[in-house]
Amino acid sequence: MRTPPIVSPDAWDAARRALLATENAHTGARDALAAERRRMPWMAVEKDYRSETARGPARLRRRPEPGGRAHLRGHGGGDGRGRAAPPRRCACPARARR
């Protein structure tokens, strides 16, 4: 394995600043991509999805109450071929207990 060269403190600081500039540009690009992903349009779920839960079979309700809104699917709701995405797990203990 080749190791990086040993350099003076000034050369190391210059390399660190160059890397920091690259990292900042990457962070900005990642943030812009995340913002674009959040602005993705949603689409109404037309299929009757069913799944097995700890409480037994469950289905995605069309309208939770009269005049209510239908469930919508965002960018992570499936593969585009009518198959549902795997369930998401929440690391938040308060939500996990529900």
pTM metric for this prediction: 0.45
Nearest 5 degrees, angle CA 61-CA 66-CA 67? Answer: 100
For the chain, give me the number of helices (H) and strands (E)?
A: 2, 4
How does residue 82 score in pLDDT terms, banded at 50, 70 and 90?
low
Structure tokens at 74: 């965002």
Angstrom distance (rounded) from CA 3 to CA 19: 17
How does residue 42 score in pLDDT terms, banded at 50, 70 and 90?
confident
How much is the mean pLDDT over the chain?
77
pLDDT computed for residue 88 by the predictor: 57
Q: With 60 as the cut, is the pLDDT of residue 25 above it?
A: yes
Angstrom distance (rounded) from CA 6 to CA 80: 52
Of the ranges 37-46, 52-61, 86-95, which is most confident? Answer: 37-46
Q: With 90 as the cut, is the pLDDT of residue 11 above it?
A: yes
